[in-house]
Structure 1
């Protein structure tokens, strides 16, 4: 999936990071020290801040190259230490397994059983958020809210979500046994892994007192997100909806080109985003008169809306194309370049910052919604425990977005010109 010029804004430990996937590979001759130096060289050439966040980067090189490394693991540890001196959570080293998982997460396709899992905040147990339709887990009968207590007989008590994902994923055609606790009963499900396609877009046609609307939830800017968004808008346009709610809550980011393409589906003209590198050179992306609709639009955002989500919502807000409802977004305004290294590991380097059309640098600031609707802790936990309530009358932020949209629809002139769908 790694393309020559694909740009990613993807989830890391905290949240999204803008990634630029480069085809050029840093090959080295099985020398751990050469790998350490290769990483140093890449940072030296590309890092966004010429002062390296006030770090003497040449002294760092001397320190780490004067050490001896007996194997790759020692080199990996040294590289992570070296990068920590930059105090930049988005400039990070990925060992081969982590790099492979990053590529899987942004490709929209993986191999496994087809469930979304999380760790319960209170009990720390692994809980099934939902099985993905038409996957082995769905067909086996795994249900939302099921607790995974064992994986192939191994207890999941205290297990990190990422470790659990590693155990559940595997080659298509192989089996994994999940021990599920449902109420007081424990059930073993032996499931055959398959290739799973993750659909980032969910949409529906809804009737409201003031007319019909389209609700579109986008949970990740993956490789297929733009195509699915285009299909969703076109289908809802054929059903003559009067307006749209676009839900970007808890969307941590994804591919940058995907966010730009999706912005062009809503915007006929105007800037979308600009990126500025350490030389001060700016690259600007603009709309191309190809909007699929000009009907009223409300965008739902929250503190989990990061990176590519902020590029899209910032572009729509600055161009006065949409009203943003919810809470302040995460504040991730940096772009990373990601490249593979010769042993299959990878490196993400912050190479630029991005600005919204009006020139806002939202890093660590986030984007303030036009209308703030906070959820209580109880409401937030309720939606987290039962995700089927998201985008329903049981979701206070959605209810407010619907109210705002209905008001915008009511104020629309009746003789509005329709936008031709190419």
Structure 2
């Protein structure tokens, strides 16, 4: 998930993966809420108008959007629940899983998540519309789902025994979430096998950065694992690099595997710690208007850098790894990333509900559109089934020499350090 600095986070425990920029702050006054209670048709039209003004695809998925408006405004709605159902039906015609309506409870839960009081099992999910499947984008580190062994790209086929066939993303999120201490069972399909995972919901505290200096045959190497681009990630990353620089590390391995994304400004802030000059990311709306985020000549270190990615590295992870790859600032190792390059706007509606709308796409510095394509690593390293099981059974092996992808990253880093061992120094401390 990616979000602008002014934005609201779409649930950090179980939610559609998304890139977000908020364009309407907060909810309206109770008078407005009362108005929409009495006139649910007005809410349908408000949603239609927002899509009409801002949706990234000016063809609206080849749908006659004006005809859609006429159709839905000619209907009668006896209450807001009927209006909600009509809105979801209307949005479905866009064929975009990231453009979605949230009823007041769902929107309120999203705002609660923003406060950092996260409860759930610790996964981020999306809906594969083509296959009509609920897909795990990534488990969040040190959460029930992560510790149980749920993996990126797992398919959720049942929730508490109920089939997810045809289930909306919103309904799945409602079923997965719940009070701390209660249990939910997810049935996962992986490699044509179905596995039941009974999970106990808990309050989830996310510490985005973990770092250490690893003593190796080439000297000390800095290992940094970033598991989410939260509001704290930038400062924690800055502190980690500063501490590792003080230990005179030779270079860095930055681990973005299974990092589902987070805040857009956080990804840009962290990119600026490694890239001293040039474009980091650009976003383009349907009118071709481009907003560019640049480096600001404040990089902390120019020492060799290797970045680890996989299929669970998404959105903000792809912004960062794509920028580092395009600038040839780092060697990317692992497997192809998730492929999420769309930007959403999230806003409150008149009755306390909310709307996320895809308003733009983002491009890497060289202009690559990675949506559905992902970032291809410079050096591909796949894990075998035995490797996965080994790491799944002992998570402490991740990011160590028992981790084959880490081993390859270290091998590449050693080569990079050997090329110019005396020219890489810390900068802008």
Q: Would the aligned equivalents of 1:200 and 1:221 in 2 still touch at CA under 8 Å?
A: yes
Find 2:225's aligned residue among 217, 220, 238. Answer: 217
2:416 matches 1:408: yes
Displacement, 1:364? 1.4
Displacement, 1:224? 1.6
Deviation sequence 1:176-229 (CA, Å, 0-9, x none): 46699xxxxxxxxx99x87x6421111122111111111111111122211211
Q: 1:261 to 1:130 in 2, by over 3 A?
A: closer
**Comparing 45-54 with 410-419, which one deviates more in the overlay?**
410-419
Find 1:418's aligned residue among 413, 422, 426. Answer: 426
Displacement, 1:257? 0.8
Q: Would the aligned equivalents of 1:274 and 1:355 in 2 still touch at CA under 8 Å?
A: yes
Find 1:167's aligned residue among 147, 168, 178. Answer: 178
Q: How many residues align?
A: 379
Find 2:339's aligned residue among 331, 334, 338. Answer: 331
Q: Which residue of 2 aligns with 1:366?
A: 374
Say which SS state the counterpart of residue 269 (structure 1) adopts: coil
RMSD between superposed Cα atoms in Å: 3.4
Q: Which residue of 1 aligns with 2:357?
A: 349
Displacement, 1:95? 2.0
Q: Which residue of 2 aligns with 1:257?
A: 265
Q: Which has the higher strand share?
A: 1
Which TM-score applies when normalising by structure 2? 0.78
Which TM-score applies when normalising by structure 1? 0.80
2:3 matches 1:5: no
Q: Which residue of 2 aligns with 1:185?
A: none
Q: Which residue of 2 aligns with 1:319?
A: 327
Deviation sequence 1:318-362 (CA, Å, 0-9, x none): 011100001111111111111112333211111111111011111
Displacement, 1:288? 0.3
Say which SS state the counterpart of residue 324 (structure 2) adopts: helix
**Comparing 70-79 with 36-45, which one deviates more in the overlay?**
70-79
Q: Would the aligned equivalents of 1:8 and 1:17 in 2 still touch at CA under 8 Å?
A: no
Q: Take 1:399 and 1:417, find their aligned partners in 2: how far apart are those partners?
A: 24
Displacement, 1:115? 6.5
2:391 matches 1:390: no
Q: Would the aligned equivalents of 2:12 and 2:118 in 1 still touch at CA under 8 Å?
A: no
Q: Which residue of 2 aligns with 1:248?
A: 256
Which ranges of structure 1 fall in alignment gaps of 5 or more residues? 120-127, 138-142, 148-154, 170-175, 181-189
Q: Would the aligned equivalents of 2:20 and 2:344 in 1 still touch at CA under 8 Å?
A: yes
Displacement, 1:385? 4.5
Q: Would the aligned equivalents of 2:5 and 2:265 in 1 still touch at CA under 8 Å?
A: no
2:121 matches 1:110: no
Q: Which residue of 1 aligns with 2:107?
A: 99
Q: Which residue of 1 aligns with 2:91?
A: 83
Say which SS state the counterpart of residue 306 (structure 1) adopts: coil
Say which SS state the counterpart of residue 254 (structure 1) adopts: coil
Deviation sequence 1:269-312 (CA, Å, 0-9, x none): 11101111111111111100111111111111111111111111
Q: Would the aligned equivalents of 1:315 and 1:356 in 2 still touch at CA under 8 Å?
A: yes
